Amino acid sequence: MRSILDAARWRRAAGWLAALALLSGAVAAHAESLPVVRVGVLKFGTVNWELDVMRRHGFDRAHGVAIEPLELAGKNGAAVALQGGTVDVILTDWLWVARRRALGGDPTFVPHSHAAGGLMVRADAGIKGLADLKGRKIGIAGGPVDKSWLVLRAYAKKTAGIDLARDADPVFAAPPLLLETLERGGLPAALNFWPYNARLPRQGYVELVRIEDMLPALGLPADTPLLGWVFSERWAARQPAAVQGFLAAAKEARERLVASPEEWQAIAPLTQTDDPALLERLRQAYRRGVVGGEGGDIAAAAQRLLDLLVAFGGVDEAPPGGKIPPGTFFAGGGS
């Protein structure tokens, strides 16, 4: 009797194992059948945070795609990879998209984030307003044609009557070096990218002016998009479901990061900190830049911003003629 029962149990177990194998095979086959979206990322870029959330929670698979991050060397490397077909999607600015389209390319842009952050000054530097920057060093991330720097120049000229490129002493450097130099006291002020501004201790530093406040003073919406998901229009035409699935998954990941402090604990290794206070500052800075359901004509706002940038900086990467070509902003839906 015992051997009969053991045999019955074995047959049931074997049946369950067979069913599990079939189910696993079906799941694997389904995963393999999903269209793969190759996303170009930088090693320490914040895009990695979103892709981690997207993949860890299965947002990509839920929307019918499989995300495959590919690490690239830098912004220029990402642009080359997209144009060469090594990746399907990168995060970059619409100015690059406009220029490439004007030169015959077909990249197109879906808004992801607008300019966030601001000019940080040391509390002990005696800088109470923009006029106090005369003759002082200002650290600038991104180079002489950085969009935030050109916006700051335009804002200072309009509100304080000074040209910071001439009346101050701009110092251009990589974001990590600017952060370190400001903290050591080698600079009294710096205009850095938001993940680096957020790393400054709250004591001893003041945000003198925010990009979101400068833009309205210059006649532009505070949430004018700057960065976005960029991909080939031809690829989007061939893979419309993959495009929409990726954008929907990306939106869900951003919403999770905006809403959930706990999610920041999960991505702490990617942010290179486990300090809860710093993680919260990063989350709040991230929230400032996330685009929402902006109304209005994005292309018109972008053209006004381009006119401003050209007037103040020349902007080498501006499209010929200074006009944003049709198709720069993706007509097939946003994220």
Q: How many residues does the chain have?
A: 335
Nearest to 251 by CA among 40, 99, 65: 65
The pLDDT tens digits for 290-300 are 876 555 688 99
Question: How much is the average pLDDT of 309-318?
Answer: 76
Residue 133 is part of which domain span?
118-217
Domain end among 176, 197, 217 = 217
My answer on whether 99 and 173 are in the same domain is no
Query: CA-CA distance, 256 to 235, in Å (whole number)?
Result: 28
**pLDDT of the residue at 315:** 66
SS3 label, residue 203: coil
My answer on whether 5 and 75 are in the same domain is no
Domain end among 176, 191, 217 = 217
The pLDDT tens digits for 12-68 are 544 444 443 444 443 444 446 899 999 999 988 899 999 999 999 999 999 999 999
My answer on whether 253 and 288 are in the same domain is yes
The pLDDT tens digits for 68-126 are 999 998 888 999 999 999 999 999 999 899 999 999 999 999 999 987 789 999 999 99
My answer on whether 17 and 164 are in the same domain is no
Residue 260 belongs to domain with CATH number: 3.40.190.10
**pLDDT of the residue at 28:** 42
**pLDDT of the residue at 294:** 52
For the chain, give the mean pLDDT: 87
My answer on whether 25 and 42 are in the same domain is no
Answer whether residue 219 shows pLDDT above 60.
yes
**pLDDT of the residue at 190:** 97
Answer whether residue 335 shows pLDDT above 80.
no
* Number of domains observed in the structure of the chain: 3
DSSP 282-329: HHHHHHHHB--S--S-HHHHHHHHHHHHHHHH--TTSPGGG-PPTTSB
Answer whether residue 251 shows pLDDT above 80.
yes
From the CA atom positions of the chain, what is the Rg in Å?
A: 24
232 lies in a domain?
yes
329 lies in a domain?
no
Query: CA-CA distance, 266 to 255, in Å (whole number)?
Result: 15
My answer on whether 316 and 195 are in the same domain is no
The pLDDT tens digits for 150-186 are 899 999 999 999 999 999 999 999 999 999 999 999 9
From the number of C-beta atoms within 10 Å of its C-beta (0-12, 13-18, 19+), residue 294 rates as: middle
331 lies in a domain?
no
My answer on whether 122 and 205 are in the same domain is yes
My answer on whether 83 and 230 are in the same domain is yes
333 lies in a domain?
no
My answer on whether 159 and 241 are in the same domain is no
Query: CA-CA distance, 287 to 273, in Å (whole number)?
Result: 18
**For the chain, percent of residues with pLDDT exceeding 70:** 87
290 lies in a domain?
yes
| Pairwise pLDDT comparison (313 vs 273), residue with the higher score | 273
